[in-house]
Amino acid sequence: MRFPFRKALLLCTIAAVGTGTAKAQYVGHVSSFVMDAKTGQVLSQTDADLQRYPASLTKLMTLYLTFRALSAQQISLDQQVPVSIHASLQEPSKLGLVPGTRLTVEQGILGLVTKSANDAACALGEFLGGGDEVRFAQLMTQQARALGMSNTTFRNASGLPDPDQVTTARDLGVLAQHLITDFPQYYHYFNVPSFYFHRRLVPNHDPMLKLYAGADGLKTGYTVVAGRNLVTSAQRGNVRLVGVVLGSSSNGQRSLQMASILDKGFASEGVAPQPLLHPVAPRTVLMASARRSRRGQHQMLLAAARPMEVADAPTAPRRYGHLVHHTASVRMVSVRHVATRRRAGHHSRG
């Protein structure tokens, strides 16, 4: 049986009060973790072993298993992934996949790293799990144990609320390190600024890519009960760090907290500080348009004043970064080129 979005949030909130797995959820009380991605040395940690809800950071494990299957040549980037009714019914953020259609593995990857698409995550999970997302979640948890993520349990491929789906800042740092070191040939996907899907431009929601010098991935996450979550990797000189922030109270605070812990990490490694690439408002201001929306509470919970900082918003922002390279199934162009074609009366295709 499926529940509307707001009912699901209510059930998850009740579960957070009444179950042992969720009693350590404190939105606004931040857990953080910083490590050297090359050496594994822990540079800083705050409540790094406190179990939290991962939200869309769950998709990092979905991507890990996808990359593992690609590396083992069990699947290919251009392989077709079927879209089930179950996958198409996932709550936003989503690509709007239609049941009975297909997308490529690469399109699924891009949908996860840019828009944090829950329907694409579910479709990939079912594909890799033999048609069963529950089975895939079991594989996710097994892989977590194999990587040393002892305090993590997965229940779905997307990160949509489940009271038993928990992780820690330390475990997510370990996962990020393995994504970087185990599959360097696929890490570039986390730095893709945008991609075309069915003639629609889908932007990357990760604010650190445009905010923090040297940042080149990985993932944002947000639900009401989890707060604002973020895993970021940044490289300056020969030093690459992985930072994790869980439970921030706003998008701006999340970005500033991540910048702060990474700055301290680089300083401890003898790397000179660099200023932020643009100012960040520490508090999130809800858009007036959300108040006027017929969807009301749903968008009020998810919409923010800075669209690029919303990990799981139901609609795409209108400002896009520059698109600079090509992949096997998705054509990348520059935003200036898009504007020129629009003035000329052409439509770009994905």
Assess whether pLDDT exceeds 60 at residue 310: no
User: Could you tell me which residue, 75 or 303, shows the higher pLDDT?
Assistant: 75
- Return d(Cα 17, Cα 14) in angstroms, integer: 5
Which single residue is written with the structure tokens 């600024």?
193
* Angle at CA of residue 185, ends 235 and 201, nearest 5°: 85
On whether 7 is known to bind a ligand per the annotation, the reply is no
Annotated catalytic, 329? no
% the chain with pLDDT above 70: 73
Does domain 31-269 fall under CATH 3.90.550.10? My reply is no
Q: Closest Cα partner for 176 from 29, 24, 44, 33? A: 33
Question: Which segments within 22-179 are labelled E, that is strand?
Answer: 31-36, 42-46, 80-82, 102-104
Q: Is 116 a catalytic residue?
A: yes
pLDDT digits (tens, 9 = 90+) for 93-129: 999 999 999 999 999 999 999 999 999 999 999 999 9
Give the chain's mean pLDDT.
Answer: 81
Choose the catalytic residue: 31, 32, 56, 248.
56
List 117's β-bridge partners, or say none. Answer: none
- Is residue 316 within 8 A of residue 96, CB to CB? The reply is no
Is 59 assigned a catalytic role? yes
- Cα separation, 129 vs 88, whole angstroms: 17
Condensed to tens digits (0 to 9), the pLDDT of residues 182-199 reads 999 999 999 999 999 999
pLDDT at position 283 is: 64
Query: Residues 31, 93, 116, 233: which is the catalytic one?
Result: 116
Please report, for the chain, the start and end positions of each structural domain, with discontinuous segments joined by +: 31-269
Q: Where are the alpha helices (DSSP H) in 225-348?
A: 251-268, 288-292, 297-302, 335-343
- pTM for the full model? 0.78
Q: Note the pLDDT of residue 28.
A: 80
Q: Is the pLDDT of residue 350 over 90?
A: no
Residue with tokens 């949509």: 160
Q: Measured at the alpha carbon of residue 307, what is the angle toward residues 304 and 308, in degrees to the nearest 5?
A: 130
Given 31, 32, 59, 158, the catalytic residue: 59
Q: Which two tokens stand for residue 117?
A: 């698409």
